[in-house]
């Protein structure tokens, strides 16, 4: 499903924006089946993968059964199961539009960063495709980039950049055939 939705290029751009370095620790929040985690491991990082879904984590465990360096953690946006200042990078791809309180979720992702650590969020720009609420359980119809910039500032991040990720997220409604193509933003900041 993910493959049809957005391309691999998204994560590579996120990694280069964060300047990921081998041997460092990253958190993948709303990890799903491990799209971001897989790339981080390939780049030589250790990963704490957090998701609220046991089923998603079980699928990740199955997929990465032979891979070392991944901690699988069941947890929710409002209270991540990671101590303060524990990770060098936090990534969240296509996660924020699912959470109830995005600013709170951003503050939690900042809390777990070490000083100097980087947060990179990739998600959808504002859109009007209602079918995504029902079919994909989206809570937010994407985000306004200016609002994201403000939230990053409120969460205490500096050097905040919110820009086009140069990719789109594409999917077709299962009922009615409506086709959504939504641009993806990338927001980054440093603690």
Ligand X SMILES: C[S@@+](CC[C@H](N)C(=O)[O-])C[C@H]1O[C@@H](n2cnc3c(N)ncnc32)[C@H](O)[C@@H]1O
Give the interface with ligand X as residue ranges (CB under 6 A).
2, 30-32, 35-36, 51-53, 56, 76-77, 93-95, 98-99
Shortest distance, position 32 Cβ to ligand X, whole Å? 2
In contact, 125 and 185? CB cutoff 8 Å: yes
> Which residue number, 139 or 147, has a Cβ lying nearer to ligand X?
139
Shortest distance, position 158 Cβ to ligand X, whole Å? 25
Rounded to whole angstroms, the Cα distance separating 164 from 182 reads: 11
Rounded to whole angstroms, the Cα distance separating 125 from 30 reads: 18
Rounded to whole angstroms, the Cα distance separating 117 from 103 reads: 18
Nearest to 90 by CA among 25, 147, 166, 160: 25
> Which residue number, 75 or 114, has a Cβ lying nearer to ligand X?
75
CB nearest ligand X: which residue? 32
Shortest distance, position 175 Cβ to ligand X, whole Å? 20
> Which residue number, 22 or 137, has a Cβ lying nearer to ligand X?
137
Shortest distance, position 104 Cβ to ligand X, whole Å? 10
Shortest distance, position 47 Cβ to ligand X, whole Å? 12
> Which residue number, 62 or 158, has a Cβ lying nearer to ligand X?
62
Mention every residue, 6+ apart, whose C-beta is less than 8 A from residue 94. Answer: 5, 6, 30, 32, 122, 123, 124, 169
| 128, two tokens | 């009007």
> Which residue number, 75 or 190, has a Cβ lying nearer to ligand X?
75
């Amino acid at each position: 499903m993910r493959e049809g939705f957005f391309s691999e290029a998204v994560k590579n751009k996120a990694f280069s924006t964060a300047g990921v370095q081998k041997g460092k620790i990253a958190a993948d929040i709303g990890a799903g089946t491990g799209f971001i985690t897989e790339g981080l491991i390939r780049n030589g990082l250790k990963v704490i993968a957090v998701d609220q879904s046991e089923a998603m984590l079980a699928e990740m465990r199955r997929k990465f059964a032979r891979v070392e360096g991944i901690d699988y953690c069941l947890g929710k946006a409002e209270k991540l199961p990671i101590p303060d200042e524990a990770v060098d990078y936090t990534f969240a791809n296509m996660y924020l539009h699912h959470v109830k309180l995005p600013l709170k979720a951003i503050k939690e992702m900042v809390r777990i960063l070490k000083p100097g650590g980087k947060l990179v969020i990739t998600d959808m720009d504002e859109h009007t495709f209602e079918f995504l609420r029902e079919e994909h359980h989206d809570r937010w119809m994407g985000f306004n980039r200016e609002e994201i910039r403000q939230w990053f500032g409120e969460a205490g991040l500096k050097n905040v950049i919110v820009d086009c990720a140069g990719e789109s997220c594409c999917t077709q409604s299962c009922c009615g055939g409506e086709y959504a193509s939504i641009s993806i933003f990338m927001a980054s900041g440093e603690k």
